[in-house]
Amino acid sequence: MKTDDYNFLLLSTSLLVDRIYLYTDLVNKLSEKGDVNIWASSYENTDSELSWQEVKATIESFPEIKPFKEIPYNYLRRLNEFVWDYRYLLPSRMSMMNHVRNKTATLPIRALKPPASVLSFFKMERVLENNLEKLMLSYPRSEEAEKRLKQNKPDVILSTGPFQFEQPGIFPIAKRLKIPTIAYIPSWDNVTTKNRMVYKYDAYIVWNDKTKEELNEFYPYTKDYPIYTVGAPQFDIFRQERFYQSKADFCHQQNLNPELPIIVYAIGSPNFLKEHHGAVELAKRVSQGKLGEVQLLVRPHPIHDNAEMSDLFDSYKPEVQLQKTPNAGKSLTLRTQDEMQIIEWVNTFRHADVVINLSSTVTVDAAILINR
């Protein structure tokens, strides 16, 4: 029974957030307070619609979002990125700049670095970003979203992808319509590794106190805004025993031997590094018995798996197995996970004896679940 009459709008453009809406109590709890509406990019995919049927909310596909024009919007956004990078010299971002981005940067982008260095020297980053925000707020990116928000005006909008392409396109409309907005920081490292959140939301949700400290340091204005530390809601799923399998059942599905230890190699986002080379080298050593009687399960990143590794590990079977996703080939924002994929995710880490990864959040998955 509803105890209040609120109207919530939740946004999702990632299967990592879909998990929270689909398989935790968040939506159920909110529905006790009012009406819940969800705009999910995965909903427009016919297969994904089935996953949303049991959710106590009105589900709609995500509205079409137009990109910013390159000049002046994106060009000034890149200038803003450089100014903040030179101002704070964050190790992760500077490393990516020096070892990856500098190698592909075009001349017009490289030309932004000298003025950015000057602006950072004079500590002009906040002045620049405030003016950039005003400029970006003036650019309409979604007539469809504006029409929907006027027809069904929510009391609050929860943005779960403030660093992504799509969801910031909703913010200027919400601002004009005076709809409060909350930004959920969806991972532990986003504040120090992702591009800038130019828009100023009315409140923020973070996983832990460290992220809150980083938010206050690198987005100084947030000291004047509410910041709620709630933990990592996607990991609530790990406490639900309905997703647990016995090791025997899991190994049967994965073509593994339940009598042998399992090494899981969880491959991260290719946007960071192409790390499948390490998995292939490890697969070679496992198949040759150089690590003893063990087996290797390679887990591609669920957002980025396009079955491109299918042939890389065939020659190392049966000691090495590669997980596959039914999402292969789909656009990244159209992907979601049905219950079988959630079961596979949970039990991959429950039954792993060792988890190998390169700077991935699955370290947390493993810490929570191994031998649980």
Which pLDDT tens digit goes with each residue over 174-218?
Answer: 999 999 999 999 998 999 999 999 999 999 999 999 999 999 999
**354 and 299 together in one domain:** yes
Q: CATH number, domain at 356? A: 3.40.50.2000
Rounded to the nearest integer, the mean pLDDT of the chain is 94
**107 and 166 together in one domain:** no
Q: Which of 91, 113, 137 is the C-terminal boundary of a domain? A: 137
**158 and 131 together in one domain:** no
Backbone phi, psi, residue 64, to 5°? -65, 135
**114 and 218 together in one domain:** no
**51 and 174 together in one domain:** yes
pLDDT value, residue 253: 97
Across the range 280-288, mean pLDDT stands at 96
Does the pLDDT at position 1 exceed 70? no
Does the pLDDT at position 50 exceed 90? no
**103 and 60 together in one domain:** no
CA distances from 202 to 33, 80, 103 (A): 20, 22, 38
Q: Is 320 within the bounds of a domain? A: yes
pLDDT value, residue 352: 96
**38 and 132 together in one domain:** no
Does residue 11 sit in helix, strand or coil? strand
**80 and 213 together in one domain:** no
pLDDT value, residue 49: 67
Separation between Cα atoms, residue 173 and residue 11, nearest integer Å: 14
**363 and 284 together in one domain:** yes
pLDDT value, residue 280: 94
**152 and 251 together in one domain:** no
Residue 48 — pLDDT band, cuts 50, 70, 90?
Answer: low
**264 and 361 together in one domain:** yes
DSSP H helical ranges for 5-112:
15-23, 26-31, 46-51, 75-88, 91-96, 102-104, 107-110
**172 and 317 together in one domain:** no
Across the range 303-328, mean pLDDT stands at 87
What pTM, to 2 d.p., does this model score?
0.93
Q: Which of 235, 269, 286 is the C-terminal boundary of a domain? A: 235
Q: Which of 137, 164, 179 is the C-terminal boundary of a domain? A: 137
List CB contacts of 173: < 8 A, sequence separation 6 or more: 142, 145, 146, 149
Question: Domain span at residue 266?
Answer: 240-369
pLDDT value, residue 132: 99
List CB contacts of 54: < 8 A, sequence separation 6 or more: none
- Contact between residue 283 and residue 318 where contact means Cβ atoms under 8 Å apart: no
List CB contacts of 139: < 8 A, sequence separation 6 or more: 68, 69, 73, 172
Q: Is 295 within the bounds of a domain? A: yes
Q: Is 340 within the bounds of a domain? A: yes
Separation between Cα atoms, residue 52 and residue 48, nearest integer Å: 7
Number of domains in the chain: 3
Tokens of 47: 């297969």
Q: Is 1 within the bounds of a domain? A: no
Q: Is 355 within the bounds of a domain? A: yes
